[in-house]
Structure 1
């Protein structure tokens, strides 16, 4: 068991990780639909929801 694998943080239910933020050079500025920033914002919303659910399962985490 690693130091991160504790009863408050079992290995089969790891804490969600935020999505990587796009680099400014990833956006071409052409108005793509979806833009890399739109995709990032959607991933960020999913991460936030997953984090809230994870925190409910791990109140001491």
Structure 2
């Protein structure tokens, strides 16, 4: 049976060479930073629901 409330997983960072260094808006690094912020929020909420988990 799968966990109904699994621990959030961090997003994969951009691979070397994914940024074209041309000043795209948004840059893959900007998108990753946004995904990391969402991950941190989700992880904090998960930890509140699972206080005994590390």
Q: What is residue 50 of structure 1 aligned with on the other side? A: 42
2:53 matched to 1:40? no
Q: How many residues in Structure 1 have an aligned counterpart in Structure 2?
A: 53
Larger Rg: 1
Q: Does 1:13 align with 2:12?
A: no
User: Structure 1 length normalisation: TM-score?
Assistant: 0.82
1:29 matched to which residue of 2? 21
| Structure 2: gaps of 5 or more residues | none
Which residue pairs with 1:8 in the alignment?
Answer: none
Q: Distance in 2 between matches of 1:21 and 1:53?
A: 22
